[in-house]
Chains A and B, each alone.
Chain A
Amino acid sequence: MSILQTIKDKVRSRSIHVSYVDLGSCNGCDIEVLACLAPRYDIEQYGIYVHNNPREADVLIVIGAYTPGWQEKLTPLWEKIPDPKAAIAVGNCPISGCCFNRRGAYIDPPVSKHIPVAAEVPGCPPRPTEILAAILSVRDAVFANWEGRQR
């Protein structure tokens, strides 16, 4: 690994920009993502910033069970995110549909059918620490030496 790459990795690992999108959920997981921003967990001390703008995001946090309204919207949103990027499914909803997954329901989980998901955080809702740990592990797995692995 070149020195430039090492510096890039170092900087990038302290500057992860997160965008989150709720595909139809009970709002419980949104509250837990919000709790990550609060002083108790303070996500910014790890160099993770929540912007909610896909064009400057590295990580997309996906919450919710994929309602029909998202059919034409989620994939374009995912494509707007510049590489390197990773999606994290937070909560049971994007994994299994959780309590909304009844027979004949309109939702269409899992979200990994629609966009590539790098990590899943089960729980209804998951603890903020679990969300944080997932973002940190994705950071190490997806963003480290990204240019080197592209070649």
Chain B
Amino acid sequence: MAASIIWYLREFFRPGWLKKFLFAKTAPLTTPPYFRDFPEPTGKPCQHALFCMMVCPAPGAIDVVMEEDGWRPRIHKGHCIRCGLCVEACPNGVLRSGRILETRKAEGTAFIVTFRISIDPDLCTGCGNCATSCPVNKQLDPQIGAGGHSSNDEVIMRVLDGDVHVLHEEKCTGCKTCEVSCPTRAIQIARILEGTQQPQKGGGQ
């Protein structure tokens, strides 16, 4: 009888068992390395492409600011929802988070930005301000002057017969200088961001 009581007491008051019972047992307070946490800088220089700000779905989560040693994206905790889109969209690999960069490389995913120029013919007066102010136009045809006339058909847009014609939409860099310089706000630049994926080498599925 006494032996059996002692046996039970020894069984229940095993130090290891007591420790397990009284103190925290699992250690879940670690974050696995593949967790998609708040984006962090990789150290590569930011080229100020602003794709991150374009793609970010959360209000006020990311901005790109000038610091002593160049541009730098800043993530605001409390606003960022850790979707990781900025990491994926950045063409220069400035940010990292979880396995996104590795996945992007392995699966050939990317975001590309295109720009669409739309001109409202009712508002456009054919003044040519847009064609004159466009920095890409200026590079392609240094002769382009006030009025936006150009004999060069490589330019993005030019004025012909009192109307502005868009020739090479694909050369637009989205700077929106034309939008600002248009006196009647007839010209609008739309940014179109779209996800792409290269087909896998070796067939894939």
- Size range of the chain A interface in the assembly: 20 to 34
Q: Is A123 an interface residue (CB 8 A)?
A: yes
Q: Which residues of B contact A (CB under 8 A)?
A: 24-26, 28-31, 35, 38, 57-60, 76-82
CA gap between A11 and B160 in the complex, in Å: 85
Tell me the smallest distance from the CB of A40 to a CB of chain B, in Å.
7
Q: Is the CB of B79 within 8 A of A92?
A: yes
- Chain B residues within an 8 Å CB radius of A123: 81-82
A129: contacting residue among B28, B38, B57, CB under 8 A: B28
Is A96 interfacial (CB 8 A cutoff)?
yes
For the complex, what is the distance from the CA of A129 to the CA of B24, rounded to whole Å?
A: 14
Give the number of residue pairs across the A-B interface with Cβ within 8 Å.
55
A101 in contact (CB, < 8 A): yes
Q: Say if the beta carbon of A42 comes within 8 Å of chain B.
A: yes
Contact of A124 with B30 in the complex, beta carbons under 8 Å? no
Cross-interface CB contact of B79 among A40, A96, A128, cutoff 8 Å: A96
Interface residues of A in 93-151 (CB under 8 A from B): 95-99, 101-102, 120, 122-124, 127-129, 132-133
Find out whether the CB atom of B29 lies under 8 angstroms from the CB atom of A98. no
Task: Report the nearest B residue to A39, measured CB to CB.
Answer: B26
- Closest approach, in angstroms, between the C-beta of A5 and any C-beta of chain B? 21
